[in-house]
Amino acid sequence: MQDLEPTEGAMLAGLIQSPSRWDPAVRPERAVERWEFVLDGMVAQGWLTPAERREARFPQTDSRRSLARGVPTDSRGHIVSAVVAELEELGFTEQDVAQEGLRITTTVDPRRQQQVVDAAHDALDGQPVNLRSAVVTIDPQTGGVLAYYGGDNGLGLDYAQVRKLAGSTFKPFVVLAGLMREPPIGLGEVYDGREVPGLRNAQGADCDECDLKQAMTVSNNVVFHSMTKEIGPGAVAAAARAAGITAPLDDPTEGIALGNKEVSTFDLASAYATIAAGGVWRQPHLVSSVVTADDRVLYQPRRRASAASRNGWRATWSRRCSAWPSTTGWPCRRIGPWRPRRAPSSPASTARTTTRGWPGSPRRSPPPCGWAPT
């Protein structure tokens, strides 16, 4: 231990609470967040000077090595890593699973999983090789993850957990915040949706008088920016957190309405599931059961739920104007225009499932136009 540099010790200290969840080889952004948290604590305790803190660099780490036999190296590897992290939070270590021969059943539906993988591959076929994608599907009624795709390199970065700018996908949380306040802002509330200096709408999204349903349909930026200014950015952040967003939303401004905060694909899928469930948040989970070799059930998920808003169903209703028929006969809904952007979000919801897809580049190169997995 005496040979460790302070930055290395800080990284290890940050991993102690949840080694799998914050493994820098699997979730580097989370590992850096924990490392910075520890460094700030070291400065507060006088163990590190502010100058040393400013010059600190995250230590180089080895690539992830799979310790368990049979762990797939393709996209399924991200599911395994996410399950292992969830088991750890439940009190089951990898050693417990291996030594006791525990049988883990997940919520993943093989048919849906293959559909999600195929959709991700098809969407990026013929596109620049630097583009990546992530897709998560959640059952709004249970919180169970039905499909999970974080990229094809199962031992590399899980893009379903990487935080990117949310864009127009944050507009429903503005609606939810308005419905949650007293008195609530109704869906028929009318705003001036014309462009103002410094704030533009997408082509065709201007309107002299827009109610919230129309504004959501055309994804009018001015309306939601104005509404956020009226109710307060903090209220929008609170609504997003209540819906299931776990990413930091510190010091929000009116720009939060237009998605200037970074969130993960997994977080947004969970939050949209809350809206699809009528405002009831359910703990998103991948583990369906943990059973011993002699068939003793050690774990089954409890129905952890909380009401984000009694008016949450209205936020779903406000998106009806964006519905189109799907091949299953159930309406799918989208948020935002289909135009190239650095970190686009394409969530789709039905009464049965909520799916959120993200295509983009780790270096924020423009993604392919027209991405809209459903």
Q: Is 1 exposed, middle or buried (0-12, 13-18, 19+ CB in 10 A)?
A: exposed
Domain boundaries along the sequence of the chain: 1-65, 75-172+231-374
Per DSSP, the residues of 29-96 read HHHHHHHHHHHHHHHHTTSS-HHHHHH--PPP-PPP---STT--SSTHHHHHHHHHHHHHHHT--HHH
Q: Which residue has the tokens 């509404």?
A: 227
Q: Which residue has the tokens 């237009």?
A: 258
- pTM, entire model: 0.71
The helices-and-strands tally (H runs, E runs) of the chain is: 12, 15
Which of the listed CATH numbers 3.40.50.300, 3.40.50.1370, 3.40.710.10, 1.10.230.10 matches domain 75-172+231-374?
A: 3.40.710.10
d(CA 52, CA 10): 13
What pLDDT tens digit does each residue of the chain (374 aa) get?
Answer: 567 888 888 888 888 877 766 778 767 888 888 899 999 999 999 999 999 999 999 888 765 544 445 568 899 999 999 999 999 999 998 888 878 889 999 999 999 999 999 998 988 888 887 888 899 999 999 999 999 999 999 888 999 999 999 888 899 999 999 988 888 888 889 999 998 998 988 887 888 888 988 898 888 999 999 999 999 999 999 999 999 999 999 999 999 999 999 999 999 999 999 988 888 899 999 999 999 989 999 999 986 666 665 555 445 444 443 433 443 444 444 455 444 444 445 555 554 556 666 565 555 443 333 333 33
